[in-house]
Amino acid sequence: MSLRSGASSLDDDLQKQNAENCESTSKGKHCDTYVHAPIDNFGVGGRWFRHKLLDGILVGTPVLLTIQEHRRPYLTYFMKMLSFLGTEDFYTILFLLLSWIFDARLGRLFGILMGIGFYTTGYLKTLLCLPRPPRPPVIPLEKAYDWALPSHHSLLGVIMPWYIWLYSKVHYELSTIEMGVVCTLIVL
């Protein structure tokens, strides 16, 4: 399934859900645009948790607007390059390099962990149905076809480098300086 077909199905689902939330009144048609997430079925606790996360998205909007005031073409290009380091495309290349060049076992375990990470974030995105920041006023760099949080970028950016470091520490006899180099490469 391509991202486009997933996006159109997501849009179709939202339109159906919003159409179901419309009611006719004497003043015309009134539609409730609230998106009901699966976590809302957990009662008051689930709705409270989701709305706290929604508040966090709205609180972050002024920060995004401040950052966008300083947008320059070279900074945009630099941020898109950094953003690539959190995409599936980059991790596919890294997975193949780890498997073919460095250590096949590390590559296999890395692939399994990557699959678990994608499944987990996809499940949580579907469970929470948290929207991206409102646009306008926020101007996105790229079109996104799924829910906002949790981010695949953040999950992969945290789990994968530290897994490589931990695997290296357990399976290779590296000196303190060599482990420092590995740790420095991960942090950079």
pLDDT one-digit tens code per residue, 14-27: 455 445 545 555 55
pLDDT given at position 12: 53
SS3 147: coil
CA distance 188 to 57: 27
- Average pLDDT rounded to a whole number, residues 49-77: 84
Confidence of residue 166 (pLDDT cuts 50, 70, 90): confident
pLDDT one-digit tens code per residue, 64-76: 888 888 888 888 8
Helices then strands, each counted (H, E), the chain: 7, 2
- Average pLDDT rounded to a whole number, residues 182-188: 73
pLDDT one-digit tens code per residue, 104-141: 888 888 888 888 888 888 888 888 888 777 777 777 77
What residues are paired with 25 via a beta bridge?
28
Task: Report yes or no on whether pTM surpasses 0.95.
Answer: no
pLDDT of 2 strictly over 50? no
pLDDT given at position 7: 43
- Residue-range domain boundaries for the chain: 38-150
pLDDT of 11 strictly over 60? no
Residue 39 makes CB contacts below 8 A (sequence gap 6+) with 46, 47, 49, 50, 127, 128, 129
CA 4, 8, 10, 16: dihedral to nearest 10 degrees?
180
What are the Cα distances from residue 88, in Å, to 61, 80, 95, 99, 145?
Answer: 26, 14, 10, 16, 15
What value does the mean pLDDT of the chain take?
76
Given phi > 0 = left and psi -120 to 50 = alpha, else beta, which region is 77?
alpha
pLDDT given at position 10: 45
% pLDDT > 90, the chain = 0
